[in-house]
Amino acid sequence: MGSRPCETDIDEHPENHLGTAPPRTRAWRNGEVVAEGFPVAEVRDHLAGPDVVVWLDLCGPRHEDLRVVSDELGLDPVAVEDAVSRHERTKLDRYQGYAFLNVYIPRVDDDGLTLHELSAFITERALVTVRQDTRVDVDELIRRWDGSPDMDAGEPTTALLLHGMLDLVVDLQLEAVQALDDEADAIEDLVFDDRFPVKEIQRRSYRLRKNLTALRRVALPMREVLNTLLRRDLRFVPVSLVPYFQDVYDHTLRVGEWTDSLRDLVADLLDTRLALQGNRMNDVMKKVTSWAAIIAVPTAVTGFYGQNVPYPGFSQYAGFIASTVIIIVCSAALYIVFKLRDWL
């Protein structure tokens, strides 16, 4: 799946840039934003304060860019390698003191389905998101955090930030599967259309099945991710936030079930297309056979009267009249019979 590289933004502090775009930073204390847009080197200073939760976003970072974050938060080199690598599977890996999460945000447009990779390091009081392109809308993520009543109700936690991120990802997956559902409806209309455009049905059906397979591949492991987060022995999620994560888990189940049902629907549509195509072929064969039977009558009569031997009406005008009458009567009779049987 393709992605658009992160665009470079220019500001007054180029030393704060990591990768191809500057990082986004924010710090909360007791539900209020206490700092925003600070350099990455100050992350540790903010975490030194009591009850401070920090969010850091990196767009298209390189190995050397993440090394700064790794030193600030003490991240494992293996997890850093996964964050930089492309096309990692959807997963949640646990390390000593933090976890690494990798998910995909799907978008459906005229060119088909595109998957945008989003990784995250989750510590006790810090959330670091790593995205590979600008199509991952972190502004929407910030709006969700700012609009959450729990942010204002008390002390924000990384679990609350993580919930907002996962809720956004799963909602976008639901939007993608809804768009693919609409495409399935459009293909269904084409299948039962009188024009029956076979090539267009085949092309769109193949693309839909390909998109559904890609979406299912990144959405199905989300169940395991949410199950792991909800395990009480791991204590990733506070008890007060369990219902929120359970709601995201239910939406994840819906994405998987919806995707599977759409795959079955596409298979049924293809079977229906083959059945309809077979029925249309049978209708064509009946019509061709019926017309061939009608044409065989004058062929047989003219062949009989074309013999070079004497017969009733041989070399007489009456013979021509008789043969013509036989041809018309027999052909008309066959036409009427085939029409009554719906063969013509």
Per-residue pLDDT at 42 exceeds 90: no
Most confident range, picked from 5-9, 103-107, 339-343: 103-107
| Confidence band for 148, pLDDT divided at 50, 70 and 90 | confident
Both tokens assigned to 154: 């008390």
- Grouping H, G, I as helix, E, B as strand and the rest as coil, residue 296 is helix
Residue with tokens 């009081």: 125
Name the token pair of 83.
């964050």
Kindly report, residue by residue over 236-262, the tens digit of the pLDDT. Answer: 888 888 999 999 999 999 999 999 999
Closest CA to 201 of 213, 210, 191, 209: 191
- Percentage of the chain beyond pLDDT 90 is 28
pLDDT of 65 > 80? The answer is: no
DSSP per-residue codes, 189-227: HHHTSSS--HHHHHHHHHHHHHHHHHHHHHHTTHHHHHH
> What kind of fold does domain 1-156 have according to CATH?
Beta Polymerase; domain 2 (3.30.460)
Percentage helix, strand, coil, to 5, in the chain? 60, 15, 25
Q: Of 19, 7, 80, 57, whose CA–CA distance to 164 is shortest?
A: 57
- Nearest Cα neighbor of 50 from 159, 128, 125 is 125
Q: Summarize the confidence of residues 199-203 as an average pLDDT.
A: 87
Which of these, 67, 129, 125, 71, lies nearest to 98 by C-alpha position? Answer: 125
Mean pLDDT of 79-93: 82
Which range scores top for mean pLDDT: 3-12, 196-205, 216-225?
216-225
Going by pLDDT thresholds of 50, 70 and 90, the confidence category of residue 215 is: very high
Q: Where in the chain is the domain with CATH 3.30.460.20?
A: 1-156
The mean of the pLDDT values for the chain is 82
Neighbours of 103 (CB within 10 A): 25
The rounded distance, in Å, linking the Cα atoms of 119 and 101 is: 6
CA distance 187 to 73: 50
Tell whether the model's pLDDT for residue 81 goes beyond 90. no
Phi, psi of 109 (to 5 degrees): -140, -165
Per DSSP, the three-state class of 310 is coil
Spatial separation of the C-alpha atoms in residues 82 and 102, rounded to whole Å: 8
Q: How far apart are CA 200 and CA 16, in angstroms?
A: 51
Q: At what angle do helices 77-84 and 63-73 cross, to 10 degrees?
A: 140
- State how far Cα 29 lies from the chain centre: 38
Q: What is the pTM of this model?
A: 0.76
> How far, in Å, CA of 269 to CA of 198, rounded?
12
With beta carbons less than 8 A apart as the criterion, state whether 131 and 58 touch: yes
Sign of CA dihedral 248, 249, 253, 256: positive
Nearest Cα to Cα of residue 216 among 256, 247, 265 = 256
Crossing angle of helices 242-305 and 317-340, rounded to 10° = 160
Helix (H) or strand (E) holding 38: none
